[in-house]
Chains A and B, each alone.
Chain A
Amino acid sequence: EAQVTQNPRYLITVTGKKLTVTCSQNMNHEYMSWYRQDPGLGLRQIYYSMNVEVTDKGDVPEGYKVSRKEKRNFPLILESPSPNQTSLYFCASSFSGTGVYEQYFGPGTRLTVT
């Protein structure tokens, strides 16, 4: 089954404790992206990656890091989480051959930072 998986699905942590949210896709997609979703603000792009070792900032990259060492994986790293990073996070992937990114989304990770 074609899918994007995220782990963990739910996470409660404390300020300053480094964490990683994993994202994996089995569709051989080149383009991958991370979003956060907050009430009233919609989905905002954090980082995106056009292929292995190629990443770039989205609209809200502050406080986040990413890496793309393998095509299927695109982890999101919060080195020193703060309460304002409490949010619902989605990973997405897309075939990029046409240059238009019709994205498949993962199930989401709900993060709470206390």
Chain B
Amino acid sequence: EDQVTQSPEALRLQEGESSSLNCSYTVSGLRGLFWYRQDPGKGPEFLFTLYSAGEEKEKERLKATLTKKESFLHITAPKPEDSATYLCAVQEDYKLSFGAGTTVTVRA
């Protein structure tokens, strides 16, 4: 059973069109939920850590929120440079599990 499920798989946006990505998880002892950005041909780049339900973090046009069973990554007024694959991961004890990612394409 997948511990981390991300949706949608792909998202095509017009520049300035805000949207949200979803990450649902099933781990019982969550130590942290992470969001990463991955550009083609590169390693993932850390964005946020969320620790408990109700927590929010922001960075430029990105805002991550966390509930007991899912996290959302909101992209406000995206620009073409926000095009990337966004990965969600959860840590349970010492192990980390990643979702398959959401590929975001922002057209000018």
Contacts and interface: CB of A to CB of B under 8 A. Distances in A.
Nearest to B93: A99
Contact of B95 (A58, A99, A103): A58
A91 B58 CA distance: 27
Chain A contact residues: helix, strand, loop or mixed: strand
Interface in A68-114: 90, 92, 99-108
Given A43-B87, A50-B94, A106 B43 contact: yes
Given A43-B44, A50-B94, A56-B94, A102 B99 contact: no
Q: Number of contact residues on B: which range applies?
A: 20 to 34
A33 interface: yes
Chain B contact residues: helix, strand, loop or mixed: strand
Interface in B88-105: 89, 91, 94-101
B72 interface: no
Q: Number of contact residues on A: which range applies?
A: 20 to 34
Contact of A40 (B42, B95, B100): B100
Contact of A42 (B34, B42, B43, B98): B98
Nearest 10 Cβ contacts at the A-B interface: A105-B43, A42-B100, A43-B98, A100-B32, A42-B98, A105-B44, A90-B43, A102-B46, A107-B43, A100-B31
Interface of B: 4, 31-32, 34, 36, 41-46, 49, 51, 87, 89, 91, 94-101
